[in-house]
A and B are shown apart, each in its own frame.
Chain A
Amino acid sequence: MLDTIKEPPIAEEFTSSKLSYMDAIVLAQKEEMLRDERVVLIGEDISIYGGTDLVKSFDENRVRNMPISENSFTGMAIGAAMTGLRPIVDLTIASFTYLAADQIINQASKLRYMTGGQIQVPIVFRAGMYYKIGNAAQHSDRPYPFFMSAPGLKIIVPSTPADMKGLLKSAVRDDDPVMIFEDCNLWAKKEEVSTDPDYLIPIGCADIKRVGSDVTIISIGACLPMVLAAAETLQKQGISAEVVDPRTLVPLDKEVLIRSVAKTGCLVIVDNAHRTNSAASEIAAVIAEEAFESLRKPIQRVTTADVHIPFSPVLEKIVYPTAADVIGAVNKIQ
């Protein structure tokens, strides 16, 4: 049998080191695999997509390169999760989650409930969102809103290297299926990240990325750097924007979002997903239902248009939300 859960080093002073978002993805997995032998990594071409260090560090028993059978290797990992492992499934490109959606939704999300709690499904599904890079519509999806509609899943969209490390590690230690949507536009972003192998960010906790008083801007995933830049421009106009990152979309940290809207009275939600049924739509509905009396002006959504992602760079660059769109939306309600 496997030795599980190794004790972390004791009495060591943890500092921080400058890590990129991609470094954080690799380090979080490596630390969790060193900590717990039940953690295995499954995916296609793992060594190419950031996993070289993991392939070198662990044997083939723990890191398995898969044939192109997304639905079945995802289901295989779910079966393994029900029988003693804690798999991480790298689905490579988020558009491929549709191929695996049957097993993710019909099995992973439902089995704990459908079996009356006889089993748990501790599994992480990683999905990389590769867009703004000329991949055209079949490789450029940001599909987290689809999965928000499937109860039983937890949905994470980290926007910084530190959040990525802390949330991915929490996902691996969680006893429920967790989908983590990574954003390739953030890969190179660097910041100081704790070296503590037990550095965890709880699932379900939003983070205020910038304190402000005139308007709340809820920023989802990789919109953050652009939204923070927009907030600086707004400051020069004399508008103080509070930027809140939900970090987790299911379960949603309503308290922090509502508290910020109660303070500012105005809300703009920025989301790279398509407009209809976006995460922004769900958050707008929650605020309208639960904090309507706090709002001085209508909620504004800044999202990707309901159009497929075109290949031509001239067309692609105009479909996603920009800082100018955010500033425009804020000015509309100030």
Chain B
Amino acid sequence: MIRFDHVFKRYPNGREALSDLSLEIGSGEIVFLTGHSGAGKSSLLKLVALIERPSRGQLVVNGQNVAGVSRSKIPAFRRQIGMVFQDHKLLHDRTIFDNVALPLIIAGVATKEVGKRVRAALDQVGLLGREQSVPLELSTGEQQRVGIARAVVSKPAILIADEPTGNLDPDLSLEVMNIFRRFNEVGVTVLVASHDLYLLEHFPVRRVRLEAGRIVESTAAGEAARATLLDPAKFVGLREGAAT
């Protein structure tokens, strides 16, 4: 679904964010991207969303080589990717309904269909009934869930999230992550960048750890679970997360 092939990313100021990075994420996979801030997590996600372009190397997303996507084709390219941001990036002068409906309106979906799908998306994140509120009337966790509803409302094949739980307390973080996992279970490829260790311990999914723009550790889903299980101190509190 997403394939990095010896990708380098160097910014105009000379900083090398990614160097010789190769990574393959299969369709329907869920992957955690970890590492300190500045390790290159955000840069990697920006390349996937074509916010930035690779300096060298090949990146194929959903069968498309990003090098072949011209500027005018970027919007159509982005419509197949749902994006969730740490700061939600909601439009504060519009209702929750309008915020979530934005991708559908851009795609030219008929009005009736928009209403149905927005309510379905809000239902999935547990916010049905809040359509007419504005973002500032909602708590941070709720705002983040609105952001997720907006990311999934157009049923994208890929969902990427940059520090989606950065501003949330542990309980809310787990809730948000469970939402991501539910989408993954219906076949959406999910890529989450996070340095939230607590969260990582609760979800035994594939992990890729970045350091200075390189992959320093890659743990398959099963191994992650075993590592968690081997640690008796962690095992006690983690039944819920590890069981699935």
Answer whether A and B are interacting partners: no
Name A residues whose Cβ lies closer than 8 Å to a Cβ of B.
Answer: none
Chain B positions within 8 Å of A, measured between CB atoms, are none
